[in-house]
Amino acid sequence: MIEITGSPLSRNRALSKEWLDTNGRGGYSSSTILNCHTRKYHGLLVLPLSEPPGRFVILSKVDDELKGGEFNISLSMHSYPMVFTPEEMYGFTAFTLDLHPRFVFSSERSRFEKGIMMTQDSEGVLIRYVYSEGVEPLELTLRPFLAFRDIHELTRENPFLRTATEERPDGFSIAPYEGMPMLFVSSGAKGSFQPEPLWYRSFEYTAERERGFPFHEDLFTPGRMNCRMTPGSAVTFAFSLAEIRDPEQAWFEELERRRRRRSAVRRKIKAANNLEKRLAEAADAFIVKDMGGKRSVIAGYHWFYIWGRDALISLPGLTFARGRLQEGLEILDTMGEYRMNGLIPNCLSERNGGAAYNSVDASLWYFWCLQEYLRAGGDMRTIKRRYWDIMKDILKHFREPVGDSPVVRLESGLLAAGDETTQLTWMDAMVDSRPVTPRSGCPVEINALWYNALCFTREVALETGMDPGFDVSAEVELTAKAFNDLFWIPGGGYLADVWITKDGSRDESVRPNQVFAVSLPYSPLDDIMKARGVVKKVTDDLLTPFGLRTLSPEDERYRGRYMGDQAARDSAYHQGTVWPWLLGHYGEALLKTASNQKAARKQLRTILSVMEGHLEQAGIGFISEIFDGDPPHTPRGCIAQAWSVAEVFRLSRILDSDK
């Protein structure tokens, strides 16, 4: 359990701490611990819809307050231009995250709790209020605010919204827009509904202002629910697209489901420490069913959907390292089905199901996932039966590209990709339609992954007797020679980031991409001293307590702060910003090359202890997408990123297995 005490926190500190609860379908409930939205992506009921397609904020928030005796307090905060309502959250004493987010309000003689849970078997959210201690009755008033808009948009007061509600014995229902679903609101007949249709104007989202986006929104409320509460009583409100007639029963059923799930997770992994326990449970948030009902990985919350590269890099940590081999294989099946001409898509659209095939490395990460499957106890027979044809197809199209494939296999055996206008690697930020980090030619990690894929194919062929269709051993030797000849910088003792085919030069920027040439199961480097040189350079120039910088601070292009509007942020995204997902491969590279294994493990455990502290810093219970390159390394980007959680968890498991 994570507990954050409410009363000593300043409002600004509290607003930087966000909670997240998910439903396994890409839907979520999320806000700050003050239940004051700072993002347009915050919402209590955010769901993927098939019609209209996309993810939508259905219920944005509620205004809930208690009146009576000494307990006359608000349970949520709202931000408007120049003012917060209420100005302070009086009575708020603690936020806890265990099986679900919980908010505690107390005084000398009274205690009141509020809990929130998404439901797994229906498209809804439950909000439960418990008057656990007190001496007199209280009146709970709850006013829901509806948005019914795409997560990336904002709502304005408009004449198209239908204000009419249909009263029901246990609440009410409303269908505010043509073509949008109906929302059912129920309290199990414990509360009464009073229609009072109103627009509240200019809710302010400070995080969107900082990101350079529109940051004001109008929200509609159909009325208010009232409930009289006595000490020891409880009431659960359900907001859902499918009617929930007994919210109290739904609450305890969902609570029990979560208890069973947690027990199963902990039995599977036998976590060695609190970090592993927390991340093993956090991992479930990212494994979802996509719009087609197939198991996949959502890249991050709040604004990412399914990305091929992210899914495959995250997959081993989210599944195999947690002992969930079949879940991992299902995701591999899904990703394999999406491939076209050997390429696995970079991202899938949550609106129309379209796919963007602008990633060279996603397909190569597929081979690494299979290697991690074997490492976790999988069997070679499954590789042969289920994935050999996919492996052959990817290799065939990389060696002999067809159509408008961005991949070119050079005579040297290396892979080249793209041109000056494209971004086909994970460092893919663009400003004014131009790459921020131009990497056309032969990127170092693409070719490290290519070499690893070739070697693994040879391994599978030798063990199973399968025919790869070409002389894979000759290809391995050719690629290794070119890799060492062209990427190694003798005077620098590290690897170039890109071999630029256009003029035969090298981009000698100090970036973390070189670490994969050491960390992957098969390294193309022909000398252990080269591998140690790479790790030393990365450690000296790029390592921080939260991950690896994307560019050395000694480089004049280095950006140490990820701030400002979108152009400013994109300009810093891979120009010094720290990425925690790189810690998994950095850790493996360090362990492979360290002459003092005890010191190396101690160094990595120190980093993991810092990451454990971060679980209370931004997205409570999760690891952020990125951090500033400069101290104090402020967390930025998404509050919960799949590959951040997955790779930090995987690194911790590696350290445990090497004891």
CATH number of domain containing 530: 1.50.10.10
Looking at residue 121, what is its pLDDT?
66
CA pair distance 41, 301, nearest whole angstrom: 9
Separation in Å, CA 228 to CA 51, 69, 168, 313, 516: 38, 13, 19, 51, 61
Whether residue 329 is predicted with pLDDT greater than 80 in this model: the reply is yes
Say how many domains are in the chain: 2
Look at 372 and 1; give whichever has higher pLDDT: 372
Q: Taking each helix axis from N to C terminus, what angle separates 308-318 and 642-657, rounded to the nearest 10 degrees?
A: 30
Nearest to 361 by CA among 432, 439, 421: 439
Q: Give the single-character DSSP code of 383.
A: I
**Six-digit token string for 162:** 């239908």
Is the same domain home to 126 and 214? yes
Whether residue 196 is found in the same domain as residue 334: no
Is the domain of 245 the same as that of 295? no
Which pLDDT does position 70 carry in this prediction?
A: 67
3-state secondary structure of 151: coil
Same domain for 246 and 136: yes
| Residue 265 counted as domain residue | no
pLDDT bracket for residue 111 (50, 70, 90): very high
Torsion of CA 520, 521, 526, 529, to 10 degrees: 70
Instruction: Identify the pLDDT of residue 372.
Output: 98
User: Does position 360 have pLDDT exceeding 60, yes or no?
Assistant: yes
* Model confidence at 281: pLDDT above 90: yes
Q: 234, 260, 286: which is the final residue of a domain?
A: 260
Whether pLDDT at 312 is above 90: yes
**Pair 252, 275 in one domain:** no
Contact of 192 with 170, CB cutoff 8 Å: no
Q: How confident is the model at residue 268 (pLDDT cuts 50, 70, 90)?
A: confident
pLDDT at 613: 96
Are 333 and 200 in a shared domain?
no
Which of 260, 283, 308 terminates a domain? The answer is: 260
Percentage of the chain lying above the pLDDT 70 cut: 99
Query: What local confidence, expressed as pLDDT, does residue 296 receive?
Result: 94
Res 659 pLDDT > 60: no
DSSP string covering 285-332, please? GGEEE-TTS-EEE--EETT---BHHHHHHHHHHHTGGGT-HHHHHHHH
Express each pLDDT in 409-454 by its tens digit.
999 999 999 888 899 999 999 999 899 999 999 999 999 999 999 9
pLDDT over threshold 80, residue 16: yes
pLDDT of 20 strictly over 70? yes
Residues 6+ apart with CB under 8 A from 235: 128, 129, 140, 187, 188, 190, 191, 227, 229, 248
Note the pLDDT tens digit of each residue in 366-406.
999 999 999 999 999 999 999 999 999 999 999 998 878 88
φ, ψ of residue 191 to 5 degrees: the values are -125, 160
Q: How confident is the model at residue 336 (pLDDT cuts 50, 70, 90)?
A: very high
In this prediction, residue 107 has a pLDDT band, given cuts at 50, 70 and 90, of: confident
* pLDDT for 120: 84
What span, in angstroms and rounded, lies between the C-alpha atoms of 555 and 561?
A: 14
Sequence-distant (6+) residues with CB within 8 A of 339 are: 345, 363, 390, 393, 394
Instruction: Say how many residues make up the chain.
Output: 659
* Amino acid, res. 389: D
Look up residue 54 and give its amino acid: G
416 and 367 both lie in a single domain:
yes
pTM of the model: 0.96
pLDDT at 234: 96
Domain that holds residue 156: 2-260
CATH of residue 127? 2.70.98
Q: How far apart are CA 586 and CA 536, in angstroms?
A: 11
Distance CA 322, CA 301 (A): 21
Summarize the confidence of residues 601-628 as an average pLDDT.
Answer: 97
Does residue 290 surpass a pLDDT of 80? no
Tell me what the mean pLDDT of segment 553-569 comes to: 96
Give, to the nearest 10 degrees, the angle between helix 597-614 and helix 274-282.
60
| Residues 91-97, mean pLDDT to the nearest whole number | 94
Q: Would you say residue 599 has pLDDT above 90?
A: yes
Q: Which residue has the higher pLDDT, 502 or 560?
A: 560
What per-residue confidence (pLDDT) applies to 610? 96
Running DSSP on this structure, what letter comes out for residue 615?
A: T
Alpha-carbon separation of residue 573 from 196, 554, 583, 635 (angstroms): 46, 17, 17, 13
Q: What is d(CA 444, CA 456) in angstroms, rounded to the nearest whole number?
A: 18
Is the residue at 20 inside a domain? yes
- Claim to verify: residue 228 and residue 99 sit in the same structural domain: yes
- pLDDT tens sequence across 61-77: 999 999 987 678 999 99
Do 306 and 393 lie in one domain? The reply is yes
Whether the predicted pLDDT of 264 surpasses 80: yes
Give the 3-state secondary structure of 411-433. Answer: CCCCEEECCCCCCCCCCCCEECC
Based on the domain organization, do 517 and 625 belong to the same domain? yes
The pLDDT value given to residue 271 = 74
**Report for 39-48, 88-97, 429-438: range of highest mean pLDDT:** 39-48
Residue 108: pLDDT band by 50, 70, 90 thresholds? confident
Measured in whole angstroms, the distance separating CA 140 from the mean position of its chain's CA atoms is: 35
Task: Decide: 643 and 313 in contact? Cβ < 8 Å.
Answer: yes
Reported confidence tier of residue 188, pLDDT bands at 50, 70, 90: confident
Q: Are residues 384 and 476 in the same domain?
A: yes
Instruction: Based on the fold, state whether residues 360 and 494 are members of the same structural domain.
Output: yes
* The predicted structure's pLDDT at residue 658: 60
Q: What backbone torsions phi and psi does residue 537 show, to the nearest 5 degrees?
A: -65, -45
| Least confident range of 55-59, 271-275, 592-596 | 271-275
- Give, in order, the Cα–Cα distances in Å from 67 to each of 189, 202, 295, 346, 621: 20, 26, 46, 52, 32
How close are the terminal C-alpha atoms of the chain, in Å?
27
- The answer as to whether 203 is a domain residue is yes
- The Cα–Cα gap between 644 and 649 comes to 8
Average pLDDT, the chain: 94
If pLDDT is split at 50, 70 and 90, which confidence band does 187 have? very high
DSSP-derived secondary structure letter, 515: G
- pLDDT tops 60 at residue 345: yes
In the listed set 260, 279, 304, which residue is the last one of a domain according to the structure?
260
Identify whether the C-beta of residue 30 lies closer than 8 Å to the C-beta of residue 101. Answer: no
What is the arithmetic mean of pLDDT over 508-522? 98
Give Cα 184 distance to the centre of its chain. 29
